[in-house]
């Protein structure tokens, strides 16, 4: 299961998004309370903002679960490619959403951080979705290489 490089590439987003969700959820909620007071967001209905908060807060754990499923299903490469692509698209969404979210909340959250170490972790949280997106992308490429190799071996028989 972990002997293949794509499993290692998929393990990175599993761990990174899991930690991103576990340790960052409370700070995410603090930043979201700040976003609610921005004039642009005041024009939106409150139930829409709360619904969007609940959906976007679940995306990291969803990506983590999809990547873990992709690791487990290493014998079913076509399914593994499909589920990895879903997690890739969700990770791209998370990368774009992270840029937008931190564009509005970065200065506020930096002021709220109790220590310099927490500020460093905040900046790592900004980079996290991009690292995971590239990692999932490379995993998909290696899974496709394996699939192509298996097809070529089957053709020779």
What span, in angstroms and rounded, lies between the C-alpha atoms of 131 and 40? 30
pLDDT band at 128; cut points 50, 70, 90: very high
Q: Are 49 and 36 in contact (CB under 8 A)?
A: yes
pLDDT, tens digit, for every residue of 63-121? 999 999 999 998 888 999 999 999 999 999 999 999 988 888 888 888 888 889 888 88
Asked if pLDDT for residue 151 goes beyond 90, the answer is: no
Identify the pLDDT of residue 156.
62
When divided into structural domains, the chain yields a total of 1
Identify the pLDDT of residue 104.
82
Asked if pLDDT for residue 46 goes beyond 80, the answer is: no
Residues of the domain holding 141 = 5-156
Identify the pLDDT of residue 26.
80
Identify the pLDDT of residue 81.
93
């Amino acid at each position: 299961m972990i002997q293949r490089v794509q499993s290692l590439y998929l393990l990175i987003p599993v761990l990174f998004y899991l930690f991103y969700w576990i340790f960052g959820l409370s700070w995410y909620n603090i930043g979201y309370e700040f976003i609610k007071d921005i004039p642009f967001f005041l024009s939106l209905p409150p139930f829409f903002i709360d619904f969007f908060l609940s959906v976007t807060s679940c995306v990291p754990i969803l990506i983590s679960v999809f990547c873990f499923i992709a690791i487990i299903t290493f014998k079913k490469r076509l399914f593994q490619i499909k589920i990895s692509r879903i997690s890739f698209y969700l990770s791209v969404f998370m990368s774009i959403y992270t840029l937008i979210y931190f564009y509005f909340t970065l200065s506020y959250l930096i002021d709220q951080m109790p220590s310099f170490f927490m500020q460093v972790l905040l900046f790592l949280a900004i980079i996290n979705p991009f690292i995971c997106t590239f990692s999932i992308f490379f995993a998909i490429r290696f899974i496709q290489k394996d699939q192509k190799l298996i097809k070529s071996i089957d053709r020779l028989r």
